[in-house]
Structure 1
Amino acid sequence: MSDDNSDVPAVADLSLAVHTTLRLGGPAAELVIAANEDEIIQNVAGETPSVVLAGGSNVVVADAGVPGRALLIRSRGFTPRRDGDAVALTVAAGEPWDGVVARAVEAGYSGLECLSGIPGSAGATPIQNVGAYGREVAETITAVRVYDRVDGVVRTLAAADCGFGYRHSRFKRSTRWVVLDVTFRLAAVPLSAPIRYAELAGALGVEPGGRAPLADVRAAVLALRAGKGMVLDPADPDTYSVGSFFMNPVLDAAAHAALAARGDAPRGWPGADGTVKLSAAWLIEHAGFGRGFSLGGGVGLSTKHTLALTNRGAGSTAALLDLARHLRAGVHDRFGVTLQPEPVLVNCAL
């Protein structure tokens, strides 16, 4: 470890697998924990770490690991500021995300409840623009504080400057920015934001667009996610995954019309701009890959959800990527659609 990081604790176990929800990945040459903002900046201001991890829920690490330093962000902070019914909630990057949602629901802050059960850290949510059950985190974010590695300063970026899109932001493929904390705009009201997702509305017994008590929404979301293997359970390798491995592809109107003209009718959601978002799970299933499909190697599709590629306990990153390539090729051969991965691939590629 370099002298300027001598007061930041190194970790004896250099394996990255134990720090990811896939339980896959080789060692780092050096593994350092940053417990607060100063330590985060201290570790990223000089030599760039090979990988920055918090919850490790949206990352696939090569079996060979990484040649440099891995930084584990463990900062903590949950600071609400109320102005009438409006709540500005600032959360440190290292806070476990589902704990943030649980605390918000318990405090009576509406806006995050549909994002219950998503693994990972608060700092990762704007990077991926995480979403579930009809909601994206960008809808509640007002600001993201980051360390700018290029200019060597801390910046506060308004939501409009974050480049949010479907499972995307300006932070996702760039090493320039390291998230320090995120501020969310919530409401101090007892009912949820309008329920957009039909499956969730049905589970709650409300019409789409209706509202329900915050705790009821959180419980329903957790139950739905658990039924699909999307809540991490250390005792169940069928949940060792990055969640949805592939993004739902978005086609322009012409491409969707051409697909429909071939006689294929995949499930889709029209966008205001004329695009159509297709269900990646539907495409995988109808390309011939059912739940539990495997090529061997200790990995396979979840037995509960075809979008989750799981490590069954004795897998490898190489085997996981082979499976992902096989699925992607099968979908392309059947539908002419190329699936793109959601997670960040570290020292490896599809």
Structure 2
Amino acid sequence: MSTPSTSPATPAAETARLADLTTMHVGGPATRLVTATSSDELVAAVRAADDAGEPLLVVSGGSNLVVSDDGFPGTVVLVRSEGIAVESADYCGGAFVRVQAGTPWDDFVAEAVRSGWAGIEALSGIPGAVGATPVQNVGAYGQEVSQTIAQVRVYDREQQRIRTFFPVDCRFSYRHSLFKETSHRGTGRYVVLEVAFQLEIADLSRPIAYADLAAGLGVEQGARVPLADAREAVLEQRRRRGMVLDPADHDTWSCGSFFTNPLLRPAEHDALVARAAALLGPDGPVPPRFPGGTDDSGAELVKTSAAWLIDKAGFGKGYGLPGPAALSTKHTLALTNRGHATAADVVALAREVRDGVQQAFGVTLVNEPVFVGHEL
């Protein structure tokens, strides 16, 4: 991929309503919309907005944004750069594949499955674009993109230059990265231009790590199955949870999982278990407990289920119906727009759920989508 020329043409500006560019279907107007169809155009558009001192918001698939009803008072750059390039492929080194930031993520996963590249098949059906995946360290069903990312090529707005980050530099952790935690003038410092992946060349999937997925496939956890079978099983799991976009299904008018699964210290999880017993009875259900890795100091962490906490705090599937905003009828972790919700409606429901869980269990849920122009 060539470095942008010194003075590439800046794409023409348009107007847009951000509700039309996000999967939650909320958000007011953008002052200015610029569509970038290449890395060069993306850099030029971002640089032009920064040079003009305008607020900047970069949008690709719009699947992880909740934009305020007031919209965005600045330039919105819509990332539409697409392309998948295989730089090398052999059984020894695997497939080294470079993907443009605007490429729809599931298009890339489908191509990987067709081509016999293993490592991202469990991430089938996730909405959004490739460039957003390292920012959030997107993951599902036992896989995360950080497991296969080899390089992330970005435009550094602060230094005004293109840089390449390797995995060790990205500070990947659960639904987090360097790109998510650093900002410049109020929004992300780094604009992802392309992502390179190192994938295994194989007919079979990576070991199936998720119990429900293994059950759906009729195999034991840890088994490997044909890539196409793994992809279809994941898509089926996601469809049942309303996590595959369908314009006719308001359960999919969402940001997917709205809250991250809490990471707790062991003592905090013990306290959660005690509160659950007091609320649900000593013989009642027990909060799930999964390995959560370690914190920055190396201390052990425990992961529990946000969906479990939401449900047991009294917010079941479909809570809030008929709307305008409600929990999905298929999965308690998805907050949905029933067709005419505003951003304020979504935020009000999110606050009710977050505060209800905190009151019931003493755990404060953290939103996964990014809020623009307002806060939770």
Specify the SS of the correspondent of 1:171.
helix
Match of 2:108 among 100, 117, 125: 100
Q: How well do the aligned residues superpose, as a CA RMSD in angstroms?
A: 1.4
Aligned pair 1:8/2:14, yes or no? no
Q: Deviation digits for residues 251-273 of structure 1, max 9, x if unmatched?
A: 01111122223354311212344
What CA distance in whole angstroms lies between the structure 2 residues aligned with 1:27 and 1:36? Answer: 24
Q: Deviation digits for residues 237-258 of structure 1, max 9, x if unmatched?
A: 2210000000000001111122
- Change in Cα spacing, 1:271 to 1:297, as seen in structure 2 (3 Å) is closer
Q: Deviation digits for residues 315-345 of structure 1, max 9, x if unmatched?
A: 0000100000000010000000000000111
Q: Deviation digits for residues 274-323 of structure 1, max 9, x if unmatched?
A: 21111000000000000000176511000000000000111000010000
Q: Could you say which residue in structure 1 is the equivalent of 2:291?
A: 270
Q: Could you say which residue in structure 2 is the equivalent of 1:74?
A: 80
**Aligned residue identity for 1:120:** G
Q: Could you say which residue in structure 2 is the equivalent of 1:58?
A: 64
Contact 2:141–2:210 under 8 Å retained in 1: yes
Specify the SS of the correspondent of 1:313.
coil
Percent of pairs identical after alignment? 53
Aligned pair 1:114/2:122, yes or no? yes
- Length-normalised TM-score, structure 1: 0.96
Q: Could you say which residue in structure 1 is the equivalent of 2:31?
A: 29
- Alpha-carbon distance, 1:38 to partner: 0.7
Aligned pair 1:243/2:256, yes or no? yes
Contact 1:5–1:43 under 8 Å retained in 2: no
Contact 2:241–2:331 under 8 Å retained in 1: yes
Q: Could you say which residue in structure 1 is the equivalent of 2:340?
A: 314
What CA distance in whole angstroms lies between the structure 2 residues aligned with 1:67 and 1:341? Answer: 23
What CA distance in whole angstroms lies between the structure 2 residues aligned with 1:182 and 1:318? Answer: 34
Moved more, 81-90 or 249-258: 81-90
Q: Deviation digits for residues 161-212 of structure 1, max 9, x if unmatched?
A: 0011100011114221000000111011100011100110111111101100
Q: Could you say which residue in structure 2 is the equivalent of 1:331?
A: 357
Pairs aligned (count): 346
Gaps of 5+ in 2: 1-6, 278-285, 295-299
- Alpha-carbon distance, 1:6 to partner: 6.4
- Change in Cα spacing, 1:272 to 1:129, as seen in structure 2 (3 Å) is closer
What CA distance in whole angstroms lies between the structure 1 residues aligned with 2:122 and 2:318? Answer: 27
Contact 2:323–2:338 under 8 Å retained in 1: no
What CA distance in whole angstroms lies between the structure 2 residues aligned with 1:23 and 1:262? Answer: 37
What CA distance in whole angstroms lies between the structure 2 residues aligned with 1:341 and 1:220? Answer: 27
Match of 1:198 among 211, 221, 228: 211
Contact 1:34–1:40 under 8 Å retained in 2: yes
- Alpha-carbon distance, 1:9 to partner: 2.5
Q: Could you say which residue in structure 2 is the equivalent of 1:302?
A: 328
Specify the SS of the correspondent of 2:17.
coil
Match of 2:265 among 218, 241, 252: 252
Moved more, 252-261 or 175-184: 252-261
What CA distance in whole angstroms lies between the structure 2 residues aligned with 1:282 and 1:42? Answer: 45
Q: Deviation digits for residues 111-130 of structure 1, max 9, x if unmatched?
A: 11000000000000000101
Alignment of 1:120-269 (within 5 A): 120-173=128-181, 174=183, 175-264=188-277, 265-269=286-290
**Aligned residue identity for 1:11:** E
- Segments of 4+ moved more than 4 angstroms: 4-7
What CA distance in whole angstroms lies between the structure 2 residues aligned with 1:150 and 1:83? Answer: 35
Specify the SS of the correspondent of 2:117.
coil
What CA distance in whole angstroms lies between the structure 1 residues aligned with 2:253 and 2:209? Answer: 28
Gaps of 5+ in 1: none
What CA distance in whole angstroms lies between the structure 2 residues aligned with 1:130 and 1:272? Answer: 17
What CA distance in whole angstroms lies between the structure 1 residues aligned with 2:315 and 2:48? Answer: 46
- Alpha-carbon distance, 1:82 to partner: 2.8
